[in-house]
Structure 1
Amino acid sequence: MGKPQTRRKDTRQRILDVALELFLERGYDQTSLREIAERLEVTKAALYYHFRTKEDIVDALVGGIGERLDELIAWARAQPTTLETRRELLRRLNEALEEYSPVFQFLQENQAALRGRAGPKTARDRMQALGTLLTDPQSPVLDRVRSLSALFTVYFGTFATSAMEGTPEEKRAALLQVAWEQIDAAHAAHSGK
């Protein structure tokens, strides 16, 4: 009984993987559903069974990131608001960004084509939630900015360092180290340590 469901999930994931590969190679606007079906060696009808439009594919790609970030936010909200929790939040965010880095690269490279979609508000809401979890509202403005800078270092640093020499692992480790230094500095200034 479990095999058809598993096979359907595998096919759906294959479609997402191939679509993302083509979106990264050619761009969102230059990739058609027909080309995705051809690369998969399936009919367009088989592809339509899982996804009716390219927008449905993008929604599924972004949905995975959104779920992961929502889980991370829920986890952090259930923790005490300590420096250790904030450091762990940044570590887990860094890990999530590594896992979904091809999707983030696609979103970054295809901003113009994807403009006007419903996702940006949700992405902004998630960023604000993460910022709130990292920032002590009682801290001076400078320390709140340090905390937000830690978030942006991890979140946007991946794109900013893409042309920089070094392995992706080295760059992610460096981004996390810098983010931790920023969050540590904000905590130390506020706590008097």
Structure 2
Amino acid sequence: MAQTRRKDTRQRIQDVALELFLERGYDQTSLREIAERLEVTKAALYYHFRTKEDIVTSLVEDIGRPVEELIAWGQAQPATLETRREVLRRLNEALETGAPVFRFLQENQAALRGRGAPNAFRDRMRALGALLADPDATVLEQVRALSALFTVYFGTFALDAMEGAREEKRAALLQVAWEQIDAAHNTGA
């Protein structure tokens, strides 16, 4: 029971911090303001997170976990078109779940520069790219496969600027990505 309460408190802190980071920006948000919004003392906040950086690290780890799990799943599957399509579908789903954190990271790049997240991001993108493109594929096939990945990933940032229902826009991203992965797979056929 105490473990669940700690986890719920940790999640509440992350949610409120993310809300403030999105409203005010990372640099303009203090631990005191996070504690005040939560209606807890700074000491209670420190029990879970000593710094704002610790909160950001936890947010990045939390959104990275489903991608890491997806990579592990994909590596255990046969390298088929169906697997590649499923990797893109699952990635699209994971990105939707983590969209607020991705938006925060995108909007606060300057404040977050120099932290470990870019290396983890790069490594994940390479691993996902390896799942989508055959190592012996032509350059054109590799570009198409990576374009499918970038459509889903970077398209996430463009959704807010587009008109329409969020579900419809996510479905459109996935459809375009599938068309690209299908084209990459069928080029050599």
Judge same fold: TM > 0.5, yes or no: yes
Structure 1 counterpart of 2:103: 105
Structure 2 counterpart of 1:134: 132
**Alignment counterpart, residue 25 of structure 2, candidates 15, 24, 27:** 27
Pair 1:143-2:141 in alignment: yes
Within a 5 Å distance, the mapping from 1:113-192 to structure 2 comes to 113-190=111-188, 192=189
Task: Indicate the SS of the match to 1:139.
Answer: coil
* TM-score of the two chains, using structure 2 as the length reference: 0.98
Structure 1 counterpart of 2:65: 67
Aligned residues: 189
Residue-by-residue CA offset, 1:78-125 (whole Å, 9 max, x unaligned)? 000000000000000000001111000100100010000011011101
Distance in 2 separating the partners of 1:42 and 1:8: 14
Runs of 4+ in 1 over 2 A off after TM superposition: none
Distance in 1 separating the partners of 2:137 and 2:61: 34
Task: Indicate the SS of the match to 2:187.
Answer: helix
Distance in 2 separating the partners of 1:130 and 1:5: 34
Structure 1 counterpart of 2:55: 57
Task: Indicate the SS of the match to 1:162.
Answer: helix
Mean Cα deviation higher: 131-140 or 10-19: 131-140
Residue-by-residue CA offset, 1:45-84 (whole Å, 9 max, x unaligned)? 0000000000000010000112111100000000000000
Mean Cα deviation higher: 66-75 or 81-90: 66-75
Residue-by-residue CA offset, 1:142-175 (whole Å, 9 max, x unaligned)? 1110000000000000112321111211111000
Task: Indicate the SS of the match to 2:137.
Answer: coil
Letter in 2 for 1:75: W
Mean Cα deviation higher: 176-185 or 154-163: 154-163
Q: Which runs of 5+ in 1 are unaligned?
A: none
Letter in 2 for 1:179: A
Distance in 1 separating the partners of 2:102 and 2:165: 17
The percent identity for this pair of structures is 78
Task: Indicate the SS of the match to 1:161.
Answer: helix
Letter in 1 for 2:94: A
Q: Which runs of 5+ in 2 are unaligned?
A: none
Letter in 1 for 2:127: A
